Amino acid sequence: MPTLSRRDTVIGAGLAAAFGLTGRLIIEPAFAQKTADPAKGFASYKVGSAEVTAVYDGIFEKPHDPAFIANASVEDVKAAMTKAGLPADFVSITGTVVVVRNGGKTILCDAGTGGQAMGWVGGKMTANMTAAGIDPTKIDTVLISHFHPDHIFGLMAKDTNAPVYPNAEIVVSDVEYKFWTDPAVIDKLPEARKGLARRIQATFPTWKNVRQVTGEAEVAPGIRFVMAPGHTPGHRAFHLSSGTAQLMLSNDAMYVPALNVAHPEWRGQYDQDGATAEATRRALMDRLAADKTMVAGFHFPFPGVGQITKSGADYVLSINKA
């Protein structure tokens, strides 16, 4: 059960009245965000001599859906959200990218939604990064954990697909790259993922700054890829070390901690291969608990960094204060 330090402010329809807005105000359900954004959209901390900044991108308040978790009911999911101290009337999925400054390089870890991922109120990363004193045009390297929209659409300009980081090196897993750029994959994917594959095939292969990496290579100063398949075939965690200090960016291995940390066995729709995803997250959480390694998750409640511990067979995530 995640221990949350963030105060959850739930804003309902009453807000419109409080602001003196009239009945003519129309709020599309997908954009009537109920969760307040963090008061400050970035948080910085050190890992050894590396400077790490968590940058808030946005939130997807996912409506409940009986098909979301194959082996849990909507009531089970609601109970898990409540136990984590989160609102129960939707699944709270925040997005937080991480910027690492180490060895003279500025490294962006995943690129966020770019304000273009369906269901999200996102795309706040660039403004929050700038507020944190990081110039988006000075990013040297972008590490990509996997090719889902909330992690890569920030690489692609809306409407034109122009590269947002033409001067940075974009580092991806070779397995992930080959899976999504195979023309034959479109026929094999569920309908909801076909458009994503088409967009990937229209962009990445035409860009000259995408580097494919095999296995667990060092991909930037002090950072290695860690194989973490299941969520997607080439999903990678990132391991940062500086001196004796370490940080694991688990990315989407345990994507919604209220569900995936508390119930690693739950088979969620977003994991492409449920059995492999479960084995990956158990192995990763066992390693993090045993080594007492700090962990940052892309969808962990902001600022998204904390510690995994084990209580019997159960895993517990504590999130640090912003």
Residues that bind Zn ion in the complex, under the rule CB under 5 A: 150, 252
Least distance CB 49 / Zn ion (angstroms)? 29
Least distance CB 255 / Zn ion (angstroms)? 6
By beta-carbon proximity to Zn ion, the closer residue of 50 and 255 is 255
Least distance CB 76 / Zn ion (angstroms)? 21
By beta-carbon proximity to Zn ion, the closer residue of 163 and 304 is 304
305: left (phi over 0), alpha (psi -120 to 50) or beta: beta
Least distance CB 251 / Zn ion (angstroms)? 7
Q: With contact defined as beta carbons under 8 Å apart, do 298 and 95 qualify?
A: yes
By beta-carbon proximity to Zn ion, the closer residue of 50 and 171 is 171
By beta-carbon proximity to Zn ion, the closer residue of 57 and 150 is 150
By beta-carbon proximity to Zn ion, the closer residue of 77 and 144 is 144
Least distance CB 297 / Zn ion (angstroms)? 9
Task: Kindly provide the b/e burial profile for residues 62-75, where b requires at least 16 CB atoms within 10 angstroms of the residue's own CB.
Answer: beeeeebbeebeee
Least distance CB 149 / Zn ion (angstroms)? 8
By beta-carbon proximity to Zn ion, the closer residue of 61 and 252 is 252
Least distance CB 309 / Zn ion (angstroms)? 24
By beta-carbon proximity to Zn ion, the closer residue of 96 and 242 is 96
Give phi and psi for 277, each to the nearest 5.
-60, -40
Distance (Å, whole) CA 204 – CA 296: 27
